A and B are shown apart, each in its own frame.
Chain A
C-alpha cells in the first residue's frame, strides 16, 4: 500500500538485525518496514512508494545482489544501501556498478547508517520530484497540435517568427498566434523557460 511518508525497507534474513534496524529507524521518526527475504520484499513493494531499501547482501534463495538486478530489470529506482558482514571489494564494486546508493560493512555505527538513509531518502524525493515535473511537461506537450509542435521546435532552435513562417509556409502573424498558444499551453513564461522544458523532456525520454 502506498503512503505519502517515505518508507525505509529493511530486508535481512536475520530476525535480530531486522528488529534492531527497524527500531533504529523508528527512533528517529522514520517509517520502517522489515522483511525477511528478497521475495517478501518484491511481493510487498509498490514502486510508487517513496523510500529507500536497506538490503543484506547474503540471504538464502535470492541474494541482495540478485534482488538489486530484479529491481533494475523492473525499472525501480529506489536507492539501495547494502549492508554486509562478509562484504569484499569485488562484491561492493559489483553492487555500485549496478547502481547501489551505498555499501556498508557490518558492524557499523547507528549514525553511519542513519546518515546514509537520510541521504538516500533525499535523493529519492528529488528524483521523484524531477520525474513528476517531467511527466507534467510531457502532458502539456501532448496538448499541442501538430502545427504548434512544429512552431515550438523551430522557435526553441532560436529561429525568428518570420523565419519560422517562411520554413512552414505560413504568415508571420500565424506563427505569432501558434507561438502564443504554445506558451500558454506549456505554461512557459519566457522562451528560455520553454527551451529548458524541451531540453528536460528530451533528457528524460532518453534516460535508460
Chain B
C-alpha cells in the first residue's frame, strides 16, 4: 500500500513539536498536525485516523472533552495523551475518560514507540 493511502496519526499542537515529529518519522508513521482540539475533532470526523496524540493541556477545550468529542466523531479512535511529568491520579483520570494511553513527555521515545507502534501495525 503506498504511504499516502495509509491512515495517519493526528498530532495536536502545541506538543513539544520537534521531538514528536522526529519520533513519528523514525517510526515511518504518516501524520498530520492540527492547531487544537476543535480542529482535531473536525479532522477525526472527516477521515480515518490511526490515533490522535494530544497534550494534556489544550487551549480550546479540556482533555476529557476532547476525548469524548473524538469518540463521538470517530468511535473507537485511540487517543494518546502526552503529559509533562503527570501524576498517577492525572493519568488515571484521563484513562477513565477513555484515553488509550498516557505518555510522559520525559519518556517520549519509549512511550510513543510502545503505544503507537502496535496501532501502526494494525492500521
B101 touches A93 (CB 8 A): yes
Q: What's the interface size class on A, roughly?
A: 10 to 19
Pair A88/B100 contact, Cβ less than 8 Å: no
Stretch at the interface among A3-11, A18-26, A96-104: A96-104
| Contact in complex: A103, B92 (CB < 8 Å) | yes
Taking CB atoms, residues of chain A closer than 8 Å to B70 are none
> CB of B46 within 8 A of chain A?
no
Residues of B close to A54: CB separation below 8 A: none
Closest to A88 in B: B88
Q: Whole-angstrom distance from the CB of B118 to the nearest CB of chain A? A: 11
Which A residues are CB-close (under 8 A) to B101? 93, 97
Instruction: Assess whether A93 is in contact with B89, with CB atoms less than 8 Å apart.
Output: no
Contact bitstring A77-108, B, C-beta under 8 A = 1, else 0 = 00000000001111011001100001101000
Q: How far does the Cβ of A142 sit from chain B's closest Cβ, in whole Å? A: 32
**B68 at the binding interface (Cβ < 8 Å):** no
Given contacts A87-B88, A105-B88, A105-B89, contact A93 B102 (CB under 8 A): yes
Chain A nearest CB, measured from B18 CB (Å): 23
In the complex, A89→B115 CA distance in Å? 13
Q: Find the B residue at minimum CB distance from A91.
A: B88
Q: How large is the interface on B (under 10, 10 to 19, 20 to 34, 35 or more residues)?
A: 10 to 19
By a CB distance below 8 angstroms, the chain B residues around A93 are 91, 95, 101-102
- Chain B CB count within 10 A is highest, among A88, A90, A93, for A93
Among A87, A96, A105, which residue has its beta carbon within 8 angstroms of that of B95?
A96
B47 → A minimal CB distance (Å): 26
Tell whether A89 pairs with B102 under 8 Å between CB atoms, given A105-B88, A105-B89: yes
Q: Mark B101-115, 1 if CB is under 8 A from A, else 0.
A: 110100100010000
Q: Is B5 an interface residue (CB 8 A)?
A: no
Nearest CB on B from A87, distance (A): 5
A89 engages B104 (CB within 8 Å): yes
Residue B36 interfacial (CB < 8 Å): no
- Rounded to whole angstroms, the CA-CA distance of A96 and B88 in the bound complex is 11
Contact of A92 with B111 at beta-carbon distance under 8 Å, contacts A97-B100, A97-B101 already known = no
Interface pair A96/B92, CB less than 8 Å apart: yes
Alpha-carbon gap, A88 to B111, bound state (A): 13
Q: List 12 A-B contacts (CB under 8 A).
A: A88-B88, A89-B104, A92-B91, A92-B92, A92-B95, A92-B102, A93-B95, A96-B91, A96-B92, A96-B96, A102-B92, A103-B88
Known: A90-B107, A103-B92. 14 other contacts (CB 8 A): A87-B88, A88-B88, A89-B88, A89-B102, A90-B104, A92-B91, A92-B92, A92-B102, A93-B95, A93-B101, A96-B95, A97-B95, A102-B92, A103-B88
Task: Please list the 7 inter-chain residue pairs (A to B) with the smallest Cβ-Cβ separation, ordered nearest first.
Answer: A96-B95, A89-B91, A103-B92, A92-B88, A105-B88, A92-B91, A87-B88
